[in-house]
Amino acid sequence: MPLLAVEDLSTAFDTEGGRVTVVDQVSFEIDAGETLGLVGESGCGKSVTALSIMGLLPKPAGRTVGGSISFRGEDLGAVPVERLQQVRGNRIAMIFQEPMTALNPVQRVGRQLAEAYTLHAPGASADEAKGRALELLDQVGIPAAERRLTEYPHQLSGGMRQRVMIAMALASRPDLLIADEPTTALDVTIQAQILELLRDLQRETGMAILFITHDLGVIAELCSRVVVMYAGRIAEQASATALFANPRHPYTQGLLRSIPRLEGEPKTVLSTIPGTVPDIGDLPTGCRFANRCPHVEDVCRQRAPVLEEAAEAHRVACHRWRAVEAA
Amino acid sequence: MTSYFIRRFLLIVPTFIGVTILVFAVTRLVPGGPIERMLQEAAMAGADVAASTSGFAGHGASSLSDDQIDQLKAYYGFDKPVIVGYAEWLGKVVRLDLGTSTRYSEPVWDTIKDRFPISIFYGVTTLILTYSVCIPLGIVKAIRHKTTFDNLTSAVVFFGYAIPGYVVAIALLTVFAGNLGWFPLSGFVSDDFDDLGTLGKIGDVAYHAVLPLIAYLAGSFAVTTMLMKNSLMDNLAAEYVRTAIAKGMAFRRAVFAHAFRNSLVPIATSFGNNITLIVTGSFLIEQIFNIDGFGLLGWESLVERDYPVVMGILVISSLLFMIGNILSDICVALVDPRVKFGSGEASQ
C-alpha cells in the first residue's frame, strides 16, 4: 500500500464567473520514504493539489469535487475535521513558499515551534516542548538555538525562517512532508542549502516528500519520481531519470529545452514554448496543450488525451506520443 | 525605544506652546470679550430694572465709567499686548494656576474640577461599553462573514452611525422620558441624591445615564466594530493562520491563538486617544439632557467669552491629546514586536 494515494482528484473554486475546476482528475501515489516532484508552471494547479491533500483549501470558495485522497488507506476526504487535525502537522506536515509570511509575526519563534509539538503531544510539559524546540532548531542547522527561541520571525533571515518552518514541520516526525515551492522565495545559495537540508533530513527520518516546484533543476536534484502538470491535469509521470533522459510529452520536452545549459552553444536564443496557457475558466475540450503544441493534429483539438503507459512506470497524456517519440 | 518616548514627551512642550499661543491670540483678536460681555449683561439687567420701574430704557454703557472698564481690563490682563499677556498666562499655568473665570468669578480649575466626575463617568463608561461590544462583535462578524447575523448587525451598526447623536438623544428623550416616563428628563443625578444610600446612588446615576449613554454610543460602534472585523478577516486569510492549521490546530483556536493579536494592531493605534474621552463629550447631547459635563462647559464658556475657562479646557484637552498619542504608540509597540521606535535598536 502506498503512503499516499491521490485518485482522480478534482478541485474547484467558486468564482463570480461560475465554478472553475483548477485540478482535474489528478492521480498519483507516494511511497514511504520517497520524494515525488510535482512540477508545472504557475497556476497549473500544483499548489491547489497540495492544499487539497491537507484540507487547507481557502473556504468557502475552494472544495474538492471528485476523487479521493487516501493516506495509509484512510480517505482524508471522508474523515471528520477533528481527525484531519490529528493528521495535519503530525503525520503529514507542510511547508510553504513564503517563509516571510508563513510565521506569525507577533509570536516568538520558540512558542510557534513548541506549539507544533504540543498540539500532537497534549500531555507534554512546557520544558519538554522547549527541549523539543531546541532539538528541532539544532536538527535544521540553526546555530545559537537557545537565543533564536526568544526571537521574533522578523529578526531572522529568509533562509532561517524557512529552516524554522521546516523545524516546525518535523516536530512530530511526520511520514510525509509537503513542500510547496519552499525555495522559490530564497537566494540561490540559500536555496541549495535548504535542498541539502531536506535531503539530509529525509535520510535521517525516512519521511516521504512531495516536492512542489516550477524548477526542473530542483526536481533533478531531489526527486526520484516526477509528475508534470499542465493547466490542471497531469501531462506526464515518470521516474526522474526517465523523464530527463526521455521526455515524452511535448510540454515536458518544451520545458526541458527552455533550460539554459552549460554545454549549449553560447549566445544562442533560448528556446521557449510559444503561446500562453489557456484561461482556466475557458479551457478547450481537447488537449489543453493543443494551442502551443508543435505536434498538434485534429484529434488533439477534439478529444482530451488520457494517461497512457508509454513505458514501464512512464505515463503520458498525449494522443501522439508515439509519433512525437519517432520524430 | 526609551529615548524615542523621552523625545516624544519633550516634544509636548513646543506643541503645547504652539497650540495655546494660537488660541490665546484668537481670543484677543476676535471682537467682543469678557468685559464687553459683562457690560452687555449689566446693561440688560439695568434695562430690565429701568423698564420695570420708570418705563425708560437705560443706557448700559453708562453704568461703568471708562476708568472702571480700564481697571477691569487691567484686572484680567486684557490691557497688555498679546505676547506679554500670553507670557503672563503661561507663567501662571506653569505654576498650575489657570486663572479666574470671568463668568463664575472663581478659579478656573475649580470650575473644571467640578465637571470631572461627570465627564469621567461618561467617558469611561462609553469606553468600556464600546470596546466590550465592538471587539467581540467584530470577531463574531469576521468568523461569520456574510451570514444573516453579520448582515443584520452591520445594518444596525451603520444605522446608528448614520444618525447624529443629538437626534438619537431627542428621539429617546421624547419617547422614553416624555411619553412613556420610564427615564428622567434630565440631569446627572436626582435632587435627593445626597440622601440616598450607596446602592441607591449607583442606581440613580445608572437610571439617569441610560438615555444619554445610548445617544453617545449609537454612532460609536460602527468604526471600531468594522475595524476589528476587517482587520481580523485580513489576518484569518494570512498565511501564518494557514500554517497554524497545517500544524494541526483547529480553526477556532487559530483565530484566538494567532490571528487575534495581529488584528489588534489597528485597534491599538487609536486606543491611547481614548484618554481624551474624559474631556470631550458632546455639548449637544449634554445640552439636551442637561448634563453638566465638559462639552457643555466648553460651549458655554465660548458663548459667554469666558476666555480663562476656554484656555483652561484647552490646556487640559491638548495635554491629554498629546499624551494619548504617545499612549497609542506604546500600545502599538506592546502589541506588535516588529515596531521599534527610533533607530538605535534596529534588529539585525
Shortest CA gap A157–chain B (Å): 9
Distance CA A79, CA A94 (A): 19
Residue B51: pLDDT band by 50, 70, 90 thresholds? low
Grid cell listed for B306: 469666558
Residues contacting B229, CB < 8 A, separation 6+: B137, B138, B139, B141, B142, B145
Distance CA A230, CA A297 (A): 19
Q: Is 80 exceeded by the pLDDT of residue B77?
A: no
B239 vs A102, A106, A168: nearest CB = A102
Grid cell listed for B5: 518616548
Residue given cell 483565530 in the structure block: B255
Mean pLDDT of A46-58: 93
Q: What's the mean pLDDT when you consider all of chain A?
A: 91
Q: Is 90 exceeded by the pLDDT of residue B206?
A: no
B239 vs A93, A98, A116: nearest CB = A98
- Judged by CB atoms closer than 8 Å, whether chains meet at B243 and A104 is answered as yes
Tell me, what's the pLDDT at B346?
A: 41
Q: Answer yes or no: are the C-beta atoms of A249 and A316 closer than 8 Å.
A: yes
In chain A, the percentage of residues whose pLDDT exceeds 70 is 99
Write the single-letter amino acid at A14: D
Q: pLDDT tens across B235-281, in order?
A: 998 999 999 999 999 999 999 999 998 999 888 888 877 777 766 66
Residues contacting B106, CB < 8 A, separation 6+: B100
Residue given cell 447575523 in the structure block: B149
Indicate the pTM of the whole model: 0.81
Tell me, what's the pLDDT at B57?
A: 45
Interface test with B, best of A104, A117, A166 (most B CBs within 10 A): A104
- Judged by CB atoms closer than 8 Å, whether chains meet at A88 and B247 is answered as yes
Q: Is A106 on the interface with B (CB under 8 A)?
A: yes
- Judged by CB atoms closer than 8 Å, whether chains meet at A101 and B261 is answered as no
Q: Answer yes or no: are the C-beta atoms of A251 and A305 closer than 8 Å.
A: no
Cβ contacts (< 8 Å) between A168 and chain B: which residues?
243, 247
Shortest CA gap A23–chain B (Å): 20
The pairs formed by B66-74 with CB atoms below 8 angstroms and a separation of 24 or more are B69/B35, B69/B39, B72/B35, B72/B38, B73/B35
In chain A, the percentage of residues whose pLDDT exceeds 90 is 74
- Judged by CB atoms closer than 8 Å, whether chains meet at B240 and A152 is answered as no
Q: pLDDT tens across B147-191, in order?
A: 999 999 999 999 988 988 888 888 888 888 888 888 887 777 777
Distance CA B287, CA B297 (A): 10
- Judged by CB atoms closer than 8 Å, whether chains meet at A88 and B245 is answered as yes
Residue B329: pLDDT band by 50, 70, 90 thresholds? confident
Shortest CA gap A254–chain B (Å): 33
Distance CA A62, CA A58 (A): 6
Q: Is 60 exceeded by the pLDDT of residue B106?
A: yes
Q: What's the mean pLDDT when you consider all of chain B?
A: 82
Distance CA A287, CA A320 (A): 11
Q: pLDDT tens across A19-28, in order?
A: 899 999 999 9
A105 vs B245, B257, B338: nearest CB = B338
- Judged by CB atoms closer than 8 Å, whether chains meet at A105 and B336 is answered as yes
The chain A residue lying nearest B336, using CA atoms, is A106
